[in-house]
Amino acid sequence: MGIDLGGSLGSLIARACQRWHPRIALEWPEGALTYAELGDRISQFVAAFGSLGLARGGALAIMAPNLPETAIANAAAMVAAIRVTPVSLFMSDEDLAYILSDAEIDVVLVAQEQAERVELLVTNLGRSIQVATLGAAERGIDLVARADSFAPSPLEPVAQCGDIAVIGYTGGTTGRPKGVVHTHNSALATVLMAASEWEWPSPTNVVAVTPVSHAAGILCYPAWLKGGTFHLLPSFDPAGLADYACKHNVTATFLVPTMIYRLIDLAKETALDLGPLETIIYGGAPIAIPRLVEAIELFGPLFMQLYGQTEAPTCIAYLARGQHVLDRPDRLGSCGVPLASVDIQLIDANGAPVATGECGEICVRGAFVMQGYWRRESDTAEAIRDGWLRTGDVGRFDDDGYLSIVDRTKDMIITGGFNVYPNEIEQVIADVPGVLACGVVGSDDPYWGEAVTAFVVSTDPANPPDRAQITRVVRERRGVAAVPKRIEFIDALPMTPIGKIDKKVLRLWRPEAVESHS
C-alpha cells in the first residue's frame, strides 16, 4: 500500500554499521558494542539462524526480555529476510500456542528461563518448531553459543521491499488475536517517518524500558540512522531510569502513561533529576490530562505523544513537545496532527465524511499501513476498503486540524439509545479528587441495554471518593446519558501486557456493583 521505497530494514542496519562503525551502537548496563562490533555480531547470528535451517522467508518468534541478544537477533532476522513475530513474555500458554501455530513459526527464540515451558508447549502443537535459547539451558538450542562458533563476516542484506518483515499480533482484547503483516516496505516507511518528523535530540541516544517486542522496538532505528546509541534496560524503574540517563547521556525514551505516573509520584517524594533526557515519547493508552499537566510542571516540556496501532504503527499523528500547551486542555487531550505522508479521513456509519468537530471512524492511508491480516482475507477486506484502513478508533478534528481520539468503535456504549464513549467518561472521572485511575465499560442491562459501569481506583482505599460527586461531575460535563449506572471501587485495574486497561476483563467481571443515582 502506498509508495514502494525500494529498501529494507536489513539494508538500513547494514549501512548504519558501515557508516558509523567507530561509534557506540548498542549499550546496556553490563556492556556495549560499537557499530562495527554490532555488524560482526549480527553476521554471526545470521549464520547461526542458517545452521537451524532458518533463512529468507523463514519464520522466527521472539519471546525474550530486553537483552542485547534480543536486539541482535531481531536485527539479524531483518538482514536475512526472516520474518519475525514478537511474543509477550506475559502471554498465556493458550495464546502462545495459537500464535505459534497461526504464524507457522519455524523457530521460537526464548530466554533460558522460558525454555522448558515453551519446549513442552510446542511438542503438543503437531508442528515441528525448534526452540532456541539466549544462553545455555537444559532444553533448547543455545543460539548464543551457536553464533560464537561462526566467524564474523560482512553483512549482506537479502530482503526485498515486498518481503514480510514482521507479523505482529493484535492484543486480542476481543476474540482471537490476528496476525498483522508488515513488509519491509511498510516497516521502513514507519521508521523513516518517525526518524524525520518526531523530535529527536542530538545526540540521539535512546533507551528502551518497555519491551522491544512492542512499540519500543522501533526506537533502535532512528538512533542507528542518526549514529546514536540504542540503550536497553530490562524493565522500568523510575529512579533507575533517571540514574541511567544521567550516567549514560540518554536523551530520549518511550513510556506508557502508567510509567509517567510513577515518575510523577517519585518526583513528589524526592528530588528526581532526569539529567540529559530531552524527549519522553508516550502513547499506547490514553493519558489522564491532570497527570500530564503535573508531569509538564515537574519535568518541563519533554513530552511528545504518538498515535498509531499495530495495523498502522506509531505514525498516524503526533503531538509535539511545543504543542503541549498547559492552558489548552483540549490540545493536551488530542493526539496532535497527522504526519506529512499520512492521509486521514473521518467517516460516519454509512461511510460518508463527517464535518469538522463531528465524531467519525478514523481511516488512514499511507505507505506504513499493513499489507493485511495473516491468512485472513475477509478480515483484510473488511479493514482496508478502497485503500483506506478502518482503524476502529472514533475521533474528531478541531478547527486547527488537531485530532482527538474519542474511543474505540467496539468500546462505544449504547445506553438507552444514546451512544457514549468510555474514554471521555474516564477523563472526567480522573479529574475527581481522590481518583487514581478508572476504567469504564458497558455491562448488559435489561432496561438500558448497556449500563455505563465505572471501575474506580482511589488514592486512599480507606476513604474513596463520594459516588454522588462522581455522578454529578459526569452529568455536568458529559450529560445524563454518560452518568455511570454502577460504580465499583477496586484495588487495581486489570492491564494488558502492553499497559492498556483490559476492557475484556472488566466486561467479564461480575463483582457486586453499587447502583448510583442518576
Q: What pLDDT score was predicted for residue 414?
A: 76
Query: Looking at per-residue confidence, does 212 or 151 come out higher?
Result: 151
Task: Give the closest residue to 348 by CA, choosing from 357, 363, 360.
Answer: 360
Taking a C-beta distance cutoff of 8 angstroms, is the pair 506, 439 a contact? Answer: yes
Q: What pLDDT score was predicted for residue 334?
A: 94
Query: Looking at per-residue confidence, does 491 or 516 come out higher?
Result: 491
Q: How far apart are the first and last CA of the chain?
A: 49
Q: What pLDDT score was predicted for residue 497?
A: 67
Pairing between strand 130-133 and 141-142? parallel
The answer to whether residue 332 scores a pLDDT higher than 90 is: yes
Helix segments in 25-176, DSSP class H: 35-51, 68-80, 93-102, 115-122, 143-148
45 exposed, middle or buried (CB, 10 Å; 0-12, 13-18, 19+)?
Answer: buried
How many alpha carbons lie under 13 Å from residue 82 in its C-beta half-sphere? Answer: 30
| Distance separating alpha carbons of residues 10 and 184, to the nearest angstrom | 8
Q: What pLDDT score was predicted for residue 518?
A: 35
The answer to whether residue 172 scores a pLDDT higher than 80 is: no
Q: Kindly report which listed range (37-51, 166-180, 306-320) carries the lowest average pLDDT score.
A: 166-180
Q: Mean pLDDT, to the nearest integer, of 287-314? A: 93
Grid coordinates representing 500?
A: 492498556
The answer to whether residue 9 scores a pLDDT higher than 80 is: yes
Compute the mean pLDDT over every residue in the chain, rounded to the nearest whole number.
91
What domains can you pick out in the chain, each with its CATH number?
A: 9-397 (3.40.50.12780), 415-515 (3.30.300.30)
Taking a C-beta distance cutoff of 8 angstroms, is the pair 259, 209 a contact? Answer: yes
At 408, the pLDDT band (50, 70, 90 cuts) reads confident
Q: Mean pLDDT, to the nearest integer, of 428-437? A: 93
Q: What pLDDT score was predicted for residue 512?
A: 43
Q: Which pTM does this prediction carry?
A: 0.83
The answer to whether residue 3 scores a pLDDT higher than 70 is: no
Task: Give the closest residue to 84 by CA, choosing from 165, 179, 1, 143.
Answer: 165
Could you give the 3-state DSSP secondary structure of residue 94?
helix
Q: What pLDDT score was predicted for residue 498?
A: 64
Helix segments in 81-183, DSSP class H: 93-102, 115-122, 143-148
The answer to whether residue 110 scores a pLDDT higher than 60 is: yes
| Distance separating alpha carbons of residues 261 and 238, to the nearest angstrom | 10
| Distance separating alpha carbons of residues 391 and 363, to the nearest angstrom | 6
Grid coordinates representing 476?
A: 455536568
Q: What pLDDT score was predicted for residue 2?
A: 58
Could you give the 3-state DSSP secondary structure of residue 221?
helix
At 515, the pLDDT band (50, 70, 90 cuts) reads very low
Q: What pLDDT score was predicted for residue 513?
A: 37
Q: Mean pLDDT, to the nearest integer, of 451-474? A: 94
At 341, the pLDDT band (50, 70, 90 cuts) reads very high
DSSP lists the bridge partners of residue 181 as 167, 372
CA distances from 302 to 195, 201, 225, 323 (A): 17, 11, 22, 11
Q: Mean pLDDT, to the nearest integer, of 354-367? A: 95
Q: What are phi and psi of 481, to 5 degrees?
A: -60, -25
pLDDT in tens, 495-512: 876 677 888 888 887 554
| Distance separating alpha carbons of residues 267 and 296, to the nearest angstrom | 12
Query: Looking at per-residue confidence, does 156 or 127 come out higher?
Result: 156
